[in-house]
Amino acid sequence: MNEHQAHAGPTQSYAAAGVHIDEADSVKARIQRSIASTLDSRTLGIGSFGSLYQLQGYQEPVLVSSCDGVGTKLKIAAILGRNRTVGFDIVNHCIDDILCCGAMPLFFLDYIAMARLNSQQVADIVEGLSAACREGGLTLVGGETAEMPGFYTEGIYDLVGFIVGVVERRSIIDGKDIVPGDMLLGLPSSGLHTNGYSLARKVFDIDQSPSQLTCYYPELGCTLADALLQPHRSYHWMLQPFLSRIKGLAHITGGGFQGNVPRILPEGVAATINKSSWPVPPLFQLLRRCGAIEEDEMYRVFNMGIGMVVIVSSHEARHLVKAIPDAYTIGRIVRRHASEQVVLA
């Protein structure tokens, strides 16, 4: 075969392979407008190959970073075309993660990937990200939008967030001062937050029957879609005035209480949690009933209505319960005598 014959046939292009650079450039312009609404004087430059951010007002600053995703909640949002909500999910999830170290959020980056660029989807997601950043007091400094034909299912996308915050070294919350007699307070979640959606989708057979999402449930007071797409709650502004009085914080995400509370407990102590000390929201009760899910499994998979656990001295507990009206006293720190670091009773 000669050189001419080897190149005969249809002309190839990136667009023919499924990647559309022109549309990507158009989306970037819309994204820049959303991002601009989050910027402040600490942001020295964005839009190049990196973003510049200046720390101000700290003596011994310690940077705190985290990365996470929204998970299969994204599939429900994509099915319904309600993609703005997941921007709040990923920003608030990441804020809560670094809050557990006592950190103030500084800036955020995102990664969005899909089979073929859907400009409306991307614009809605970034609008949600920007609104959540404005509410959280942080800057959306940039991110990446990837078009990957043949890799992702058409219409479905992935969303990952990256956050950087800061805390004075002397103010880091690390749980080392937790002792027997300290109390556990629970702050209510706004629903499933961003965990347990693979099981929830299976319970309601959402993948095969998306119309289930439009069903109205009297006990929920809304449709299943509205309940499942409640955005992840941020606890930052609620807890920020009290951080100096808090010994430990546990963000209740995947793994429930058993998987997250031990991450902040020092050696020699355990946490006992009274499951009857807060009302389990109707959505979790509905999931358990419809899925015939064992109670232990529910507490391993879902937050069960508590999104953040706060550990304080018994003295501070009385003050915080008064200062935070929707906080529940849910347990206590005890000496550890068995293998379990968390006992649910």
In the chain the domains, ranked by start, together with CATH numbers, are: 21-170 (3.30.1330.10), 183-344 (3.90.650.10)
Residue burial 217-243, b: 16+ Cβ < 10 Å; e: rest: eeebeebbbbbbbbbbbbbbebbeeeb
Tens-digit pLDDT profile for residues 301-333:
999 999 999 999 999 999 999 999 899 999 999
pLDDT band at 52; cut points 50, 70, 90: confident
Asked whether the predicted pLDDT for residue 335 surpasses 90, the reply is yes
Under the banding of pLDDT at 50, 70 and 90, the label for residue 16 is low
Tell me: pLDDT of 15 over 70: no
8 A C-beta contact, residue 155 and residue 299? no
Q: What whole-number percentage of the chain has pLDDT above 70?
A: 87
How does pLDDT run across 149-185, given as a tens digit for each residue? 999 999 999 999 999 999 999 999 999 999 999 999 9
Rounded-to-integer distance, Cα 273 and Cα 277, Å? 8
Q: Which two tokens stand for residue 110?
A: 């995102």
pLDDT at 42 over 90: no
Of 23-27, 107-111, 288-292, the range with the lowest mean pLDDT is 23-27
